[in-house]
Structure 1
Amino acid sequence: MMTSENSTGFPWLTHYDEGVQPSIEYKKHALFAFLDEAAAEHPRRTAIIFRNYRLNYRKLNELVEIVAANLRAQGLRDGDRVSIMLPNLPQTVIAFWAVLKAGGVVVMTNPLYMEKELVHQIHDSGARFMITLDLVWPKISELRDKLGIEKIFVTKISEALRFPLNILYDFKSRREGTAKQVPFDNETLLPWKVLLKGKERFCTRIDDPAERLALLQYTGGTTGIAKGVMLTHHNISVNVQQCCAMLQELVHQKHTFMGLLPYFHVYGLTTCLIFPTSLAATIIPFPRYVPKDVLDGIAKHKPTIFPGAPSVYISLMQQKDVAKYDLTSIDYCIAGSAPMPVEQMKRFKKLTGAAIIEGFGLTEASPITHLNPIRGLNKPGSIGVPFPDTEARIVDMEVGSVPLPPGKIGELIIKGPQVMQGYWNRPDETAGTLRNGWLYTGDIATMDEDGYFFIVDRKKDMFIVGGYNVYPREIDEVLYEHPKVKEAVSVGVPHATRGEIIKAYVVPKSGETLTKNEVISHCRAKLANYKVPRQVEFREELPKTIVGKVLRRALRAEEEEKLRKKKNTKSDDQ
């Protein structure tokens, strides 16, 4: 057990904010208890604001339990997996809590998925039900037989709007030809309103939150093959309670959260849905990132907490008319998914006055493990210090059993109550990642004398684009599917404004003529948009090791050198 008395082994404890305890006595309850408490203690407080739609916590909880009752009536059983394939909408919040209260297991599904990704996730998870959006129905319709989903419930954006916006939205969709006609059959393909009918409510009882799965969250890990991370009610509840402990000065205040990070990503799900619910905070969901809409939303609704990715903060600063918006309501930005350049951090702080709190997490840890203190020593570029009850070590990269001293580079391993149960139906991969209670992250890092951690490199070959984890093996396989491609490799290369973009290096087959547009179009047909390469370079050969392995890092180093020279040239010109 961690205590201030044994801080020699845990040097970060001395840097916790005043009042933050090394160990917490956790509430052992179902994850949805956070919603129950918010509805009981703050029934009239606004839970959701979406355009002209507002919902308080009493009504939110009522709708959640009505949907839960109807899911049970439709045949949902304890432990059944339910795919929620929605952007950030009020329906997404309702569906998430309703599946849990109905006794099901949530499978958050990216609406941007293409056929291969979607079919794999649905088959692997064994999801029986799906809740989705009419705008993605054409994709689902084509794959319906392959997916094998028993029941699909379809909603539309106008169902989250009040009069007259709901009427205007549908009229505009029909006029512009974007409206989607869904052939409901009232048996296996049903409208969202079916889940809202009646007044009967249901909430399951969970006596074993440490054993009952709440979420099957898919991640590529380091292999590129999406795996379901098994997170229990207790795993996620504990992580939220750890957040509350580290950010304790937020707990007894009234807050409004920007809900911009996608809920289908575990970082967005925790920081923009579950954590704010635990604070009985107001959530402003954004279905997609449109800079003007975000700036308008901040100016109008005055959010106080803005979880986000550095690429989003940087993008907002680059808007030509950003100075005309009042962004000073933002008190805190919880930054994750990628390091935020120090200079950009300073600029955003000057623009908003917000404190930027950098942290670290991964799906396998529910997801947050580290955070910079909110009031204490904040080290730019650091992921901060481990959460209460969370041990972190740097170990040798060869065997992974030798703890390394401060300043040495090695693999980051983590132990704590938020760590996953394992990978769904993958015992071998679970055994390789969870060893003697330690989660081997695959991240290369170092710890300084104060117990602050710094990520040196990312998981092997993985890169982050716009806040999303991208695994090059998947892109490489798609590139190799092109009939004119001899060899190919994808690399995350540095970009002056976006952080990273995907670049494909391609060796065409002898005698073949291949264009950049052909390569990009081929990828766009098979991959989610954020995985599509933005640059293509043709080469006669690719750099390789003596055993024939492509040197991906050498290609990245070339791009880093190009960017460095470009910056130096620009500096010389000035």
Structure 2
Amino acid sequence: MDIMGNKTIISLLHEKCKLHGTKTFLLFEDNKQNTIAYTYQEFLNRVNKFSNVLLDFGVKKGDKVTLHLPNSSDFIVSWFSLANIGAIMVPTNVLSTASEMEYLIGHSNSVLLITEEEYLDKFESIRGHLPHLRNTLLIRCTNEQFKNMSFDYLIKKADANVPNITLDSKDVVSIMYTSGTTSKPKGCMITHTNYIYTGEAVSKAIRYSPEDRGLIVLPLFHGNGQYYLFMPALTVGGSIAITERFSASQFIKQTKRLRATIGSLFAAPIRMILAQNYDVKDKENFLRLVIFAQSVTQEQLNEFEQKFNVPLLQIYGMTETVAPPLMNPVDAPRDNTGIGRPILSGEVKLINEEGKEVQVNEPGQILVKGIPGRTIMKGYYKNEQATSTTMKNGWLYTGDQALVKENGYFYFVDRQKDMIKRAGENVAAIEVENVIMEHSAVYEAAVIGIPDEIRDEAIIAFVILNHSHSVTEQKLMEHCRTRLAKFKVPDLIEFVEEFPRTSVGKIQKHKLKNKVNL
């Protein structure tokens, strides 16, 4: 028997409404600091109304609907309204180009596009190439000519009756596309049970309580905000705050305005926050913890915790793993230079290239044990080959390298694709990056390998300097030589003003390869 029963994120919402109907559930602050708030019951009513709008537009159970939206309360309303009628959300990045959107809408066979007025021009050139796409609805529409397709206009006319649609816990709720580097993005299918499991697992791991309020500043089209903050809040009957975009200068002040107690960041946003002029008043805030992912130096960790009086917890997870299988614990010693240890319901192992488990302190690929559609993604949409390569014999192959120490804590080594092969030796890009970033003049570094006829690959480092600091390539090379084995020292260091990044600040290393000046 399935101990979760036939629970869905919609039945969970109804359950919490009965317990906390008049409690503030969702707050949204836009770029002008205008705030809107919904109680649990008000949110459910809005979900039911928009569900009926979607049904009127002919959206049926199993249909895919593309969301091309910045963060907003109506992003969440759209997500739950689609789930309410058994349709499937396909969230996308507002920075995506027309050609990228043509692939995502076409590959997902989306029948409806939900976007904003300012993005309409993007879709004009590709509209004729999308035979499945029937209609477009608009959030925040000001132009009178688009009134009949505007969210607010349609929702005011709709009734709040609960749709008569049979839902199943195994139904797919969303298809989240992971960014591709050498191939097209792959769509991760996430079920009701995936979301329920994630809410339960994360809420217990970070002790999310009904009094907590999570703050989502990272883009909602990614799993981070959905998995690690929204679902735990709903699971325990807490609340959630959302900002339209991340602001390094405003982050702490946003947590104070919105009375947030839990945050989630990546390494790049942490560095951006630390680069701002420090306001000593920011040390007084409501935060009790901030979870984060990706590498941050020990000095930056210490600086953040001291300046803002809040503990950081590094975690490890992917869209495919759903819940983060590894986390630094709340109630045990933390080492935020590492990615933690398995959560209570998690099982992780490391294997070498021969498929054998590695020894302590030996790097290997991270494998996460899981049940597809329950504790890990159901699979990749319309890509059985990639699914079978990624999920084998109950294990999800992450493609990431880590090592485990005697204390049972895991330490990230590198993405497998970021391992540089130099004269027969494996070099982890992240190791070289960390050494470069130890120099006081360096703000951030990114290291890549490029083909080299003699040594397999040459090591190229791109460096952004701290404001008003300077250092020569020769001095940085000397810095590396005193701290790295000879074969790990970069062949070339290039100084740049910025890195190409994804919407959550991840450096797009495949684009850096086009910038190499040999």
Question: What corresponds to 1:329 in structure 2?
Answer: 286
Match of 1:226 among 185, 190, 199: 185
1:193: which partner in 2?
Answer: 153
What letter corresponds to residue 245 of structure 2 in structure 1? R
1:415 aligns with 2:369: yes
Report the more deviating stretch, 82-91 or 450-459.
450-459
Aligned in 2, Cα 1:195/1:333: closer, same or farther, shift over 3 Å? same
Query: Identity of aligned pairs, percent?
Result: 22
Residue 375 (structure 2) pairs with residue 375 (structure 1): no
- TM superposition score normalised by structure 2: 0.79
Alignment of 1:142-153 (within 5 A): 142-148=125-131, 149-153=133-137
**Alignment of structure 1 residues 139-538 onto 2, 5 Å:** 139-148=122-131, 149-156=133-140, 181=143, 183-184=145-146, 186=148, 189-203=149-163, 206=166, 208-210=168-170, 212-220=171-179, 223-247=182-206, 249-251=207-209, 253-336=210-293, 338-397=294-353, 399=354, 401-417=355-371, 418-461=375-418, 499=444
Q: In the alignment, residue 288 of structure 1 is paired with which amino acid?
A: R
Does the aligned pair in 1 maintain the 2:314–2:338 contact within 8 Å?
A: yes
Any residues of structure 2 matched to 1:88-167 within 5 Å, and which? Answer: 88-148=71-131, 149-156=133-140
- Contact between 1:151 and 1:190, CA under 8 Å: does it hold in 2? no
Structure 1 gap ranges (5+): 1-23, 160-179, 464-490, 506-541
Are the structure 2 counterparts of residues 48 and 423 from structure 1 closer, same or farther at C-alpha, using a change threshold of 3 Å?
same
1:141 and 1:395 map into 2 onto residues whose CA distance is 48
For residue 75 of structure 2, give the secondary structure of its aligned residue in structure 1: helix
Q: Deviations over 1:124-171 (max 9, x none)?
A: 111111111122122123332234421110011xx8xxxxxxxxxxxx
Tell me by how many angstroms 1:294 deviates: 2.9
Checking the alignment, whether the CA contact within 8 Å between 1:70 and 1:196 is kept in structure 2 is no
State the AA in 2 paired with 1:125.
S
Residue 49 of structure 1 pairs with residue 37 of structure 2: no
Q: Indicate if the aligned counterparts of 2:444 and 2:464 stay in contact, CA closer than 8 A.
A: no
Query: CA, structure 1 residues 557+396, in 2 after alignment: closer, same or farther (shift >3 Å)?
Result: farther
Instruction: Report deviation, 1:205.
Output: 5.1
Structure 2 residue matching 1:380: 3-state secondary structure: coil
CA contact (8 A) 1:494 1:563 kept: no
2:50 alignment counterpart: 67
Task: Provide the secondary structure at the position in 2 that maps to 1:381.
Answer: coil
Give 1:239 deviation, angstroms. Answer: 1.8
Q: Secondary structure at the match of 2:50?
A: helix
Q: Secondary structure at the match of 2:397?
A: strand
Q: C-alpha displacement at 1:563, in angstroms?
A: 7.7
Q: Deviations over 1:479-514 (max 9, x none)?
A: xxxxxxxxxxxx9997777645699x9xxxxxxxxx
Distance 1:295 1:140 in 2: 36
Gaps spanning 5+ residues in structure 2: where?
A: 29-33, 421-432, 466-470, 481-518
The alpha-carbon deviation at position 293 of structure 1 amounts to: 3.7
Amino acid at match of 1:544: D
Tell me how far 1:366 sits from its aligned partner: 1.4
Alpha-carbon offset, residue 422 of structure 1: 1.5
Q: 1:543 touches 1:554 (CA, 8 Å); kept in 2?
A: no
Say whether the 8 Å CA contact 1:492–1:502 is kept in structure 2. Answer: no
Instruction: Supply the AA of the counterpart residue of 2:234.
Output: T
SS at match of 2:175: strand
Amino acid in structure 1 at the alignment position of 2:345:
D
Equivalenced residue count is 451
User: Compared with structure 1, are the counterparts of its residues 329 and 200 closer, same or farther at alpha carbon in structure 2 (3 Å cutoff)?
Assistant: closer
Is the contact between residue 311 and residue 498 of structure 1 (CA under 8 Å) also seen in structure 2? no
SS in 1 for 2:312: strand
Normalised to the residue count of structure 1, the TM-score between the two structures is 0.71
Deviation at 1:285, TM superposition (A): 1.4
Residues 499, 564 of structure 1: CA spacing in aligned structure 2 closer, same or farther, 3 A cutoff? Answer: farther
2:452 is matched with which residue: 535, 544, 552?
A: 544
State the Cα distance separating 1:190 from its structure 2 match: 4.9
Shift in CA distance, 364/500, structure 1 to aligned 2, threshold 3 Å: farther
Larger RCO (CA under 8 A, 6+ residues apart): 1
Q: Deviations over 1:430-461 (max 9, x none)?
A: 11111111111100111122322111012414
Q: 1:545 to 1:445 in 2, by over 3 A?
A: farther
The RMSD of aligned alpha carbons is: 3.4
Asked if the contact 1:434/1:440 (under 8 Å) is kept, the reply is yes
Match for residue 526 of structure 1? none
Post-superposition offset of 1:392: 0.9
* Change in 2 beyond 3 A, CA 1:196/1:439: farther
Shift of 1:110: 0.8
